[in-house]
């Protein structure tokens, strides 16, 4: 992907693009409050920290992984720019200053010392947890809202009341699945089974799910096994099974799915089983017919409906502007740029007060923020997807 190396890019929207670009269709927002008079920005200053790391790329020797990581940064930036362009159509000027963080704390320290962020009203990035952690002390000292756009870390890891976490952490995914199971499975006829090999990453998903069911659905019978083979020996006729495979390790998941499908097809009478999986499955590949037969459900922070007219228009705009197809990071960038740009345009210097009051349904991500004074703002909006018609589709 072609892109000019840069350390800082600065301009004012709606003229931040290199050529004329039609604004993308405005995504849906839901305002829960009337808009009071607010002190408006003459120009809203946004600093963006993205690890382009172009200084490390030698196109003659670069690996596919190195190039793809650079593509991620560029795609996110380009989507973000289109999002802010669309927000700027409301009449507010934005100064967008983009810095190559290089995924390096020393670089972040240099930028701080040079006063590069001193005029900022909002900071977007860094995108990786260590960078977010490093910038949190600066964010708190300067009373500067900091958006963490891509890290799926628990907000408690940063302890920053000015942090705005976009991506849902694993506890939220667990609780979303547990809430669905609690609502749809009768306590007298159902058994919840956790297939949990008890590796660290497996337990991170299992523990919040287990705790949620205990707290909110204590009458549900919950069993736990290291493998689907061990589970088979304890099965009971006449029960409905909600089976959660807590792992995202393919060598664990594939045999578990195979076994569960066989248990539904026993000649002596199969067991009724519905499968629930780890959110990482959306990026992985498993036997499609098996997932569909087991009515598999997973949770996700993002989903793009390519049949949507808004998505179709965005893709056309992105192609026109950059001559490339938008990746998932371009969609993420657009949603972040448009949501915060529009919030600043509507509410001026008090935009942060409205973060928990305005929900957003974007092209890929939806936002519904809550606030905790110890960890900042965190997104609570999650989707459930079910595998049907040989694709992951949202549950209405």
What's the confidence (pLDDT) of residue 254? 97
- pLDDT for position 21: 36
What is the pLDDT at residue 23?
A: 46
* Measured distance CA(73)–CA(365) in Å, rounded: 18
Q: pLDDT at position 39, please?
A: 84
Q: What is the pLDDT of residue 59?
A: 47
pLDDT value of position 119: 94
In 3-state terms, the chain is what percent helix, strand and coil (to 5)?
A: 40, 20, 40
Peptide bond into 70 cis (omega under 30): no
> At what angle are helices 64-88 and 309-322 packed, to 10 degrees?
110
**Residue recorded with tokens 């409050």:** 33
Q: At which residue do the structure tokens 């979303």 appear?
A: 176
pLDDT at 345: 95
Predicted pLDDT of residue 16: 41
H or E, element range at 293? helix 288-293
Place of tokens 């891509």: 150
Q: How far is CA 118 from the centre of its chain?
A: 28
Per-residue pLDDT of the chain (396 residues; tens, 9 = 90+): 332 333 444 334 433 433 333 445 545 555 444 545 568 999 999 999 999 865 555 545 555 555 555 788 999 999 999 999 999 999 999 999 999 998 899 999 999 999 999 999 999 999 999 999 999 999 999 999 999 999 999 999 999 999 999 999 999 999 999 999 999 999 999 999 999 999 999 999 999 999 999 999 999 999 999 999 999 999 999 999 999 999 999 999 999 999 999 999 987 789 999 999 999 999 999 999 999 999 999 999 999 999 999 999 999 999 999 998 999 999 999 999 999 999 999 999 999 999 999 999 999 999 999 999 999 999 999 999 999 999 999 997
Which pLDDT value is given to residue 62?
53
Residue 36: is it exposed, middle or buried by C-beta count within 10 angstroms (0-12/13-18/19+)? exposed
């Amino acid at each position: 992907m072609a892109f000019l190396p840069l350390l800082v890019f600065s301009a004012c929207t709606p003229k931040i693009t290199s050529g004329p670009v039609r604004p993308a269709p405005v995504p849906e927002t839901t305002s829960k409050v009337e808009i009071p008079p607010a002190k408006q920005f003459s120009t809203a200053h946004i600093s963006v920290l993205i690890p382009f790391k172009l200084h490390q790329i030698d196109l003659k020797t670069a690996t596919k992984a190195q190039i793809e990581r650079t593509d991620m940064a560029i795609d996110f930036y380009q989507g973000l720019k289109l999002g802010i362009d669309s927000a700027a159509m409301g009449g507010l000027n934005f100064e967008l200053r983009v810095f190559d963080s290089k995924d390096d704390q020393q670089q972040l320290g240099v930028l701080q010392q040079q006063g590069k962020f001193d005029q900022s009203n909002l900071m977007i990035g860094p995108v990786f947890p260590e960078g977010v952690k490093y910038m949190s002390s600066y964010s708190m000292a300067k009373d500067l809202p900091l958006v963490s756009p891509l890290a799926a870390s628990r907000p408690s890891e940063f302890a920053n009341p000015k942090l705005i976490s976009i991506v849902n952490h694993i506890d939220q995914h667990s609780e979303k699945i547990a809430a669905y199971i609690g609502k749809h499975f009768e306590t007298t006829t159902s058994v919840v089974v956790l297939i949990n090999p008890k590796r660290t990453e497996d337990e991170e998903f299992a523990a919040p799910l287990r705790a949620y069911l205990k707290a909110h659905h204590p009458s549900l019978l919950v069993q736990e096994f290291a493998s689907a083979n061990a589970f088979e020996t304890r099965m009971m006729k006449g029960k409905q099974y909600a089976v959660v495979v807590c792992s995202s390790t393919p060598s664990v998941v594939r045999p578990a799915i195979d076994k569960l499908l066989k248990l539904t097809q026993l000649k002596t009478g199969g067991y009724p089983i519905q499968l629930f999986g780890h959110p990482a499955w959306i990026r992985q590949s498993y036997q499609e017919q098996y997932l569909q037969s087991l009515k598999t459900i997973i949770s996700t922070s993002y989903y793009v409906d390519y049949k949507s007219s808004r998505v179709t228009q965005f893709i056309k705009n992105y192609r026109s502007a950059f001559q490339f197809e938008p990746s998932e990071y371009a969609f993420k960038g657009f949603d972040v740029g448009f949501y915060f740009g529009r919030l600043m345009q509507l509410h001026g210097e008090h935009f942060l007060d409205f973060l928990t009051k305005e929900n957003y349904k974007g092209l890929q991500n939806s936002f519904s923020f809550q606030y905790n004074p110890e960890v900042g703002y965190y997104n609570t909006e999650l989707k459930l997807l079910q595998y049907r018609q040989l694709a992951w589709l949202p549950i209405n």
